[in-house]
Structures are given as C-alpha cells and as structure tokens.
Amino acid sequence: MNTIRSTKAIAAWSRSLHREGVTIGFVPTMGALHDGHRSLIRAARLACDAVAVSIFVNPTQFAPTEDLSKYPRQLRHDQALCRREGVDVVFAPTVKAMYPEGAHTTVTVPALARRWEGEARPHHFQGVATVVTKLLSLVQPDIAWFGQKDYQQAMVVRQLVADLNLPGRIVVHPTVREADGLALSSRNVYLTQQERQAAPVLYRALQAGASAIRTGERRGAAIQRLMIRTVAREPLARVDYLAVCHPTTLEPLATIERHAVLLGVIRIGTVRLLDNLLVTARHRS
Amino acid sequence: MNTIRSTKAIAAWSRSLHREGVTIGFVPTMGALHDGHRSLIRAARLACDAVAVSIFVNPTQFAPTEDLSKYPRQLRHDQALCRREGVDVVFAPTVKAMYPEGAHTTVTVPALARRWEGEARPHHFQGVATVVTKLLSLVQPDIAWFGQKDYQQAMVVRQLVADLNLPGRIVVHPTVREADGLALSSRNVYLTQQERQAAPVLYRALQAGASAIRTGERRGAAIQRLMIRTVAREPLARVDYLAVCHPTTLEPLATIERHAVLLGVIRIGTVRLLDNLLVTARHRS
C-alpha cells in the first residue's frame, strides 16, 4: 500500500489506472478511522478494482471556535487499518498541498446547506463542498462512499456531484453502531465514561420516532415532540435539533406521505452527537 | 464531426478517448464563432489528438437586464466552421441538460472576481466559474484554451482550476483583432456602422498606455489618465474603466515594477467593449 502526499501524484495514479481500465473506489475521511470507515472501505473493496482512502482533516470545514486542533490524528494507526483492509492508496495531503497560498475558490450548495448543521455551523458545508470537489476531481473515482451518519453532508455531496458534473457515483452507506445503538464517530472519544453511557439516548429517541411512524403516526410535530421527550429524560443531554424531514430536500415535513428522514443532534457535555434514521411509512392493510 | 447534446454522452466520449491514450483539447465558447475562436481551435488542433468545442450560451452569467435573449445564436454556421477546422466533437447542450431542475451549486472565486467586470456585472463570474467547472469536469481536457480578450475571465478560470484541482492546463491565447485594432467579439455585431468606426479607440487608448510605459512612464495614475484622455477624444465612447493592474491579482498598480495588464472597457451606444494589453516594463540601458 502506498501513501501519497501530493495532489499531482494522486491525480497521476488515478489517470494511469483509468488508462488500464481499472475501476477506482474512493472513501474520503478525516482519519481517526473506526469500524464505520472500515465498513465503507469494505464496500469499496468489493465493488471496485482499486481503492483509495483520503485522510485529511479539512480546516475549512471547522469554525475558529471548533475542535480543529484537538481533532484526533493517528495516521500510523489509520495506515495500518487501511493496509489490513486491502486499500491500494492512502492519500494524506498536507494543508499546504490542498490550500496553497492564494487559493480562495469556494463551492456552495446554498439550499441544502442552509438548515440544520448549516445553521449550527455556518461555513461548514462550504468547506465540505469545496474539499469534496477537490478530492473527487483529483481521485476521479468510479464510485465514492459516504457514511449515512452525516446524512446532510451526504445529500450536499450528492447534489454538488450532480450539479457540477463531477466524476463518480455517490453511495451512502448505512451507519455502523455500538451494541447500545450509539453511532460510531471519531468524536465519541471526547465523551467521558458517564457521558458515553448517556449518549445512546439519541438513537433511542430516533427509534421512538420511527416506531410511532410504524404504528400509524404521520404528523411531523407529534413525532418531533416524542423524540424531544425521549431525550429530555436523560439529564446529561440537551437537544440541538430533532426533526422530521423530506429525505432529499431536508425540509421539515408537516405530514409524512411516504419517505422521511429523522434527523437528530444532541449535546452531551461539550460534544455534539449526530444521528439519523430513514423511515418509510407503510399503508396499513 | 459529431454534435453531442447530453452531458452523459460527452463524459462517455472523453472517458473512451482517455482510455485509448488520446489527448483532448477543449475550446469552451458561447457560439457565434469568429476568427478569435478559430484561432483557439487551431491552437487546440495543433496541440492535441482530439478537439472538443462547446457551444453554450450560459444563462447564469447574464444579469436579467443583459442581452441573454438577443445574444447571437447560429449553431449551423458554428458547426460548419468547426467541421472545416477539424473539430472532432461539438458539445451543444440545452439549458435543461446543464441546469436540471433543483440544481443550485455554485462556484465562486471571490477575490479575483470582485473588481472590474465583477463590479459591473455582480453575478457574472459566479456563472462563469460554475459553468466552466461543469464543462471541464465533463470534457476532462488535457488542455483548454481561453481568449485573452476576456482577460479577467481567463484569470478566474486559471484560479479555479488550480484551486479545485480540475483537470487540464489552461492556455490563454492572444486576442485576434480587426485590421483597425478592434478586438473580435461576438457582441461587435451590435454596433451600428458609425459606432463600429468609433470602436477602435479602445485599442488606441491601450496602445497609448503601452507606449508611455515603453518610453519610461511607471506611474499607474499617469498611464490611466493618458488612456482616459485618448478615449475622451471619441465623442461616441464613454469609459467604463481603464486601469493599470497586476497581471495575476488584477489589483491596481500605483507603480509598474515589471509586468502589468492594461484593462479597458468602454461603452459605445449600448455596447460594452472589452480589451486589454499585457505589458512588460524594460529597464532602460
């Protein structure tokens, strides 16, 4: 397995493979790889001839007040995981390689990025959209995998790939969870032991919402109240937002017609936890 | 020569050629092709194995008050010119193919796009940057040619290609002029006969500036005044801006150290005419 540092070298690697008719699967990450990433890598390994994983803690998607400097970095460990999983190339550029002096072009997906995480983190999705455009343009994958845990991010990426005619198909891969339901995230390491025990309340709240929909509830507001009440029972948790949304536009739904996504973010201590569930309302027979 | 209408088909064409090791030269245009475009096509024909020309009057780079609806469209004539010049593919998508319902991702190059044309036409360069990103991503050229006449546009494109790691090298090709110095432009057809006779004053003004630099003038303000005075002698012409700028940042220069670009836009009747000259101040011996 090769680790590539320069943008020119990764572009050349991709070009040479495409010239041979080799298909490329791509898993973009910020490193601190866990079983969620592993599951994306395995999906890529199964579907494509060659697999590239990028490891880049993208500064432009962090606000100055956020955790950029303390975000977990463990390249050696990540390289070892990639090697075990049969990854062909780890692309781990420096910040300077990705953002040379004078670079200032930005990619924006205004409608999809406005709500939810976009409200909480105003420049976040512009940073994501810009770096994903760069990465896809460099790696030129046939397929790229994104985790469902960051659902809005995955929708922003789908939209920008379609809108800018970027290469590759975007696959959104199911969230991997701990035994108690907590969605895997590199930020879970920030939780104290006590907070960790409280954290699964988010998944329980989303499940309560999904279960209400299964038993016939269609009113967005009622489902939202139920989810909020579930989180309220956990004293360490505060709701950032819990919402019943259209699965592609992410607009709140007054009434569920058929498909919906339950989006949730809570804070436990200083940690923001994200999760979501896709639900389909079935007609009762 | 093929005319391709769909984004999928042009991407497939490009992929199949790259798989064969064929190099692709690309000339993006808004059609109404003239000898300026012909000169870009010939440069592409000489440098690359295959040549694609896009013909697309991009609505997102026009303001509602501008000439989108009356912009000259003459696909048959353009196809014939391309055929004669040995173009392999004309890519002439519909607006709906380029901007399907719901598309809303935009590319912005804020610092370079702020001044000059960006001031006169606030959303212009965002439209240009977005469509060029799409076209380069679809065609995946080895080299793409842009005319020097639209100098700021060429610099915006260079910047976004570098910043977003888009495929291809950008070549800026010298302006082609009429015998009297008027830069070729598809919008020259808007000029009445009398206005057409007045139009070369812009080139004369730029030449006066360049000539002052050759004879030792280094003060930006003095060169600017000279250019403005030259245009003032033509009663049909009004100055939009005439400026002495750094050739890559496009910031105004108080003093010319070595390289500069003289940027000029005048209005004659309702028509805005653009032109520019690159100049190098030589040390006197």
Q: Does B72 reach chain A within 8 Å, measured CB to CB?
A: no
> Above 60 in pLDDT, residue B9?
yes
pLDDT at position A282 is 84
Mean pLDDT over all residues of chain B?
Answer: 97
In the block, tokens 């010939």 appear at: B42
Arithmetic mean of pLDDT, B173-200: 97
- Taking residue B16's Cβ as centre, other Cβ atoms within 10 Å add up to 10
The pLDDT tens digits of the residues spanning B47-106 come to 999 999 999 999 999 999 999 999 999 999 999 999 999 999 999 999 999 999 999 999
Q: Does A21 reach chain B within 8 Å, measured CB to CB?
A: yes
- CA nearest B109 in A: which residue? A105
Nearest to residue B153, comparing CAs of B140, B168, B170? Answer: B170
Q: What percent of chain B has pLDDT over 70?
A: 99
> Above 90 in pLDDT, residue B285?
no
Arithmetic mean of pLDDT, B220-230: 98
The pLDDT tens digits of the residues spanning A178-220 come to 999 999 999 999 999 999 999 999 999 999 999 999 999 999 9
pLDDT at position B284 is 62
**φ, ψ (nearest 5 deg) of residue B112:** -75, -25
The answer to whether B39 and B176 are in contact (CB under 8 A) is yes
Distance from B203 to chain A by nearest Cα, in Å?
31
* Segment (H or E) for A144: strand A143-147
**Dihedral, CA atoms, A134, A119, B100, B162, nearest 10 degrees?**
-20
The CA-based diameter of chain B, rounded to the nearest angstrom, is 63
- CA nearest A248 in B: which residue? B102
Q: Between chains, do B11 and A106 touch, taking CB under 8 Å as contact?
A: no
**Runs of H (alpha helix) within B28-116:** 35-47, 75-84, 95-98, 110-114
A242: helix, coil or strand?
strand
To the question of whether residue B33 is assigned a binding role by annotation, the answer is yes
Q: How far apart are CA A234 and CA A114, in angstroms?
A: 29
E strands, B122-269, in order: 143-147, 169-173, 237-245, 259-268
Arithmetic mean of pLDDT, A33-37: 98
Q: Which residues of A touch B103 (CB under 8 A)?
A: 162-163
> Above 70 in pLDDT, residue A284?
no
Q: How far apart are CA A162 and CA B93, in angstroms?
A: 16
Q: Between chains, do B105 and A138 touch, taking CB under 8 Å as contact?
A: no
Q: Which residues of A touch B159 (CB under 8 A)?
A: 102, 104-105
Q: Write the CA distances from A231 to A135, A200, A205, A221, B122, integer angstroms.
A: 37, 10, 6, 16, 47
Arithmetic mean of pLDDT, A229-258: 97
Residue among A103, A159, A163 minimizing CB distance to B163? A103
Q: Does A64 reach chain B within 8 Å, measured CB to CB?
A: no
Domains in chain A with CATH codes: 2-173 (3.40.50.620), 186-276 (3.30.1300.10)
Q: What percent of chain A has pLDDT over 70?
A: 99
Q: Does B162 reach chain A within 8 Å, measured CB to CB?
A: yes
Q: Beta strand B106-108 with A106-108: parallel, antiparallel or unpaired?
A: antiparallel
Arithmetic mean of pLDDT, B120-127: 96
The answer to whether A150 and A174 are in contact (CB under 8 A) is no
Mean pLDDT over all residues of chain A?
Answer: 97
pLDDT level of residue B282 (50, 70, 90 thresholds): confident
Arithmetic mean of pLDDT, A22-39: 98
> Above 60 in pLDDT, residue A227?
yes
Q: Please, which contacts does A188-195 make with residues 24 or more away whose CB atoms are closer than 8 Å?
A: A188/A271, A188/A273, A189/A32, A189/A72, A190/A67, A190/A269, A190/A270, A190/A271, A191/A268, A191/A269, A191/A271, A192/A269, A194/A236, A195/A236, A195/A268, A195/A269, A195/A271
Q: Which residues of B touch A160 (CB under 8 A)?
A: 105
* Structure token pair of residue B19: 């798989």
Residue among A105, A108, A109 minimizing CB distance to B164? A105
Q: Which residues of A touch B138 (CB under 8 A)?
A: 165
The answer to whether A34 and A171 are in contact (CB under 8 A) is no
The pLDDT tens digits of the residues spanning A135-187 come to 999 999 999 999 999 999 999 999 999 999 999 999 999 999 999 999 999 99
The answer to whether A26 and A52 are in contact (CB under 8 A) is yes
To the question of whether residue B83 is assigned a binding role by annotation, the answer is no
**φ, ψ (nearest 5 deg) of residue A281:** -80, 125
